[in-house]
Amino acid sequence: MNSLKSVIIGSIVLVLLAIFTWEWGFCRFYVEPDQMAILIARIGTPLPPGEILAKKGQMGIQEEVLGEGRHFRNPFEFDHQIMPVINIPPGKVGVVTAKVGAELPQGEFLANDGQKGVSRRVLGPGKYRINPIGYEVQIEDAVAIPIGYVGLITSLSGTQAPQGAFAKPGEKGVRSDILQPGLYYVNPKEFQINVLEIGVNQVSLLGREGSTVITKGKIEGQNAAMEALEGNLLKQQQAKRRDYYQQMDADTQQRTASQPPAKRPATQQRDTDNVHVLNEFVSFPSRDGFLISLDMTLEYEFLPESIAWLYRSYGDLPAVVDKIIMPQILSITRNKGSEYRAKDFILGEGREKFQNDMTEALSKTMAEKKIITHNALIRHVDVPMQILDPIQKASIATEQNLTNIERQNTARKQAELNSNQSLIEQRRAQVAQETLKLKAEIAADQDKQVAEIQAGTVQQIALIDKNTAEVRANKTRTLGKAAADAMKLVESERARGSQMKTQAFGDPIAYSLYEFAGSLRPDLMINILHSGQGTLWTDLEKANLGELGGASLLNKK
């Protein structure tokens, strides 16, 4: 029984080891980062006709791809191919074209999910695992609208919008909504984006030399990637405008082919991106029959709310200038100019009135076309010399006379100025002397006040010292008198006490003896000796008192 169990356990271990060896050694493969694996099924149901990607259970290239990591597939059932993932850089979009799916309806070229063709949805910046066998990804620039511009949207798919109307969602044509400055990930197959300047631009008419359209330059930013995208979009815009101007030149040359070469307008070169030269000039007869040509500049502005209407109605900026602005300038300047005489364009007042009338007329007419007119400035007027020369000479004489008068006035004013300057210098010196005098008076008054204060201080000090001396003298006098009075009282009382003691003893001698006795030493010893004949010293020796008594007597002496 135990041997059977061991055999079973060993068999299980061998089977597990064989499975592990098979899976890990033969079925395992690894997908690196930023890569994907495309599976090819060797077995399964055959694909229907026309299909190129297989689903699970079908034989062929599998639609689903494997991402990075470790995977296990039976090598007899599946083959695999490692490929890089689809990488969309920043500022780019990926336009996907599906090779699989249902066929598109008639007339459609943009596909929804599950349909074959160019997909409406685009891929933004990032990494995508998309089977390249069934889906092709084309990388395009995103739309970067510069500052000072707006993006006009033209839908390229759907049913055609009604004539004169904006396109709605699902319709083909110019849309009313615009793109403000920024970055947009737009499908270039679904929408065409054209940029157009907003704000103030200029049209300059240069007499018989032609005209120029000056547009604003691009505002520089701080983002190099955005600058590159905006530059690419503006280059596309300028290429379209150059094509338009070339077509204009061709039409003009064809229209004027029958004219003599000397009268044909010359084809102008357009070198810069924000200056466009036109073969148009302003020339008209004056009221008195002279031919007038002038240089002028018109400042106009496109508003964001009306830019889509202008673009839908007329096209890009060159077309707006060609179809609206230039015809109105030429028409109004000729109509208004024919109301003035030639000399009115030379004299300042007449030319200013003509400029104001022309600006007002252009503003009204342009407003109907949703264009704002700011200024119409006259810079130079070309008139025939037979009328210009005498007017200029008369004007020069008048100006010379005015200049002489002004010179006389200037000389008189200069004399007055010199006189006033002399008076100012005189007054300045007087003020300086008065200032010095005032400063000296102030200094003397200050010194006087200081001396008075010092003298008053010394006087006060002396008065205080005097009062102090008097107080000290009174103190000394009072203290001396008090001491004398006290001594007098003490001695008087002492004398009175002695007198009273004398009266008490009744005899001055007795009182003297009393005082004498009071003055003796307390340790005084008195010995009374009765001696016989002989001398005192002999008796003292006999009494053995000589030494002591002698010494005592000597001491008493």
Q: pLDDT of 93-149, one tens digit each? A: 999 999 988 888 887 888 888 888 999 999 999 999 999 988 999 999 999 998 888
As given in the structure block, the two tokens for residue 189 are 């197959």
Rounded Cα distance, 130 and 115, in Å: 16
Among residues 69, 84, 99, which one ends one of the domains? 84
User: Residue 225 above 60 pLDDT?
Assistant: yes
User: Residue 555 above 50 pLDDT?
Assistant: no
Name residues whose C-beta falls within 8 Å of residue 323's C-beta, 6 or more positions apart in sequence.
314, 315
Domain hosting 107: range is 88-141
506 in any annotated domain: no
Write phi, then psi, for 172 (nearest 5 degrees): -100, 135
Name residues whose C-beta falls within 8 Å of residue 258's C-beta, 6 or more positions apart in sequence.
none
**357 and 287 share one domain:** yes
Terminal CA-CA length for the chain = 160
Say if residues 175 and 167 touch (Cβ distance below 8 Å): yes
∠ CA 191-194-195, nearest 5°, is 140
**112 and 55 share one domain:** no
**48 and 111 share one domain:** no
Please report which confidence band the pLDDT of residue 309 belongs to, taking 50, 70 and 90 as the band edges.
very high
Per the structure, the count of domains in the chain is 3
**80 and 92 share one domain:** no
Q: Kindly report which listed range (6-15, 242-251, 310-319, 512-521) carries the lowest average pLDDT score.
A: 242-251
**79 and 221 share one domain:** no
**126 and 47 share one domain:** no
Say if residues 291 and 303 touch (Cβ distance below 8 Å): no
- What is the percent of the chain with per-residue pLDDT over 70, rounded to a whole number? 81
Per-residue pLDDT tens over the stretch 200-222: 888 877 655 555 555 555 555 55
As given in the structure block, the two tokens for residue 491 are 């001695």
Among residues 383, 402, 432, which one ends one of the domains? 383
Rounded Cα distance, 161 and 152, in Å: 16
Helix (H) or strand (E) holding 194: strand 191-197
> Three-state DSSP class for 122?
strand
Please report which confidence band the pLDDT of residue 494 belongs to, taking 50, 70 and 90 as the band edges.
confident
The residue-averaged pLDDT of 506-528 equals 73
* Per-residue model confidence (pLDDT) at position 267: 41
User: Residue 532 above 60 pLDDT?
Assistant: no
Please report which confidence band the pLDDT of residue 276 belongs to, taking 50, 70 and 90 as the band edges.
low
Rounded Cα distance, 324 and 341, in Å: 28
What's the predicted TM-score (pTM) here? 0.58
Please report which confidence band the pLDDT of residue 556 belongs to, taking 50, 70 and 90 as the band edges.
very low
490 in any annotated domain: no
Using the 8-state DSSP alphabet, how is residue 204 labeled? E
Using the 8-state DSSP alphabet, how is residue 535 labeled? -
467 in any annotated domain: no
Q: Which residues pair with 69 in a beta bridge?
A: 31
Q: Which residues pair with 136 in a beta bridge?
A: 97
**29 and 52 share one domain:** yes
429 in any annotated domain: no
As given in the structure block, the two tokens for residue 478 are 């009072």
252 in any annotated domain: yes
**280 and 242 share one domain:** yes
Q: CATH code at 337?
A: 3.30.479.30
**97 and 69 share one domain:** no
Name residues whose C-beta falls within 8 Å of residue 294's C-beta, 6 or more positions apart in sequence.
205, 207, 282, 333, 337, 345, 378, 379, 380, 381, 382
205 in any annotated domain: yes
> Three-state DSSP class for 35?
strand
**207 and 329 share one domain:** yes
163 in any annotated domain: no
Say if residues 129 and 65 touch (Cβ distance below 8 Å): yes
Single out the residue of 156, 158, 126, 118 nearest to residue 142, CA to CA: 126
* Per-residue model confidence (pLDDT) at position 114: 85
Name residues whose C-beta falls within 8 Å of residue 369's C-beta, 6 or more positions apart in sequence.
310, 324
* Per-residue model confidence (pLDDT) at position 257: 58
Distances (CA, A) of 206 to 201, 246, 348: 16, 20, 20
Among residues 119, 141, 163, which one ends one of the domains? 141
303 in any annotated domain: yes
* Per-residue model confidence (pLDDT) at position 270: 44
Using the 8-state DSSP alphabet, how is residue 17 labeled? H
**217 and 94 share one domain:** no
**65 and 92 share one domain:** no
Question: CB count, 10 Å around CB of 557?
Answer: 5
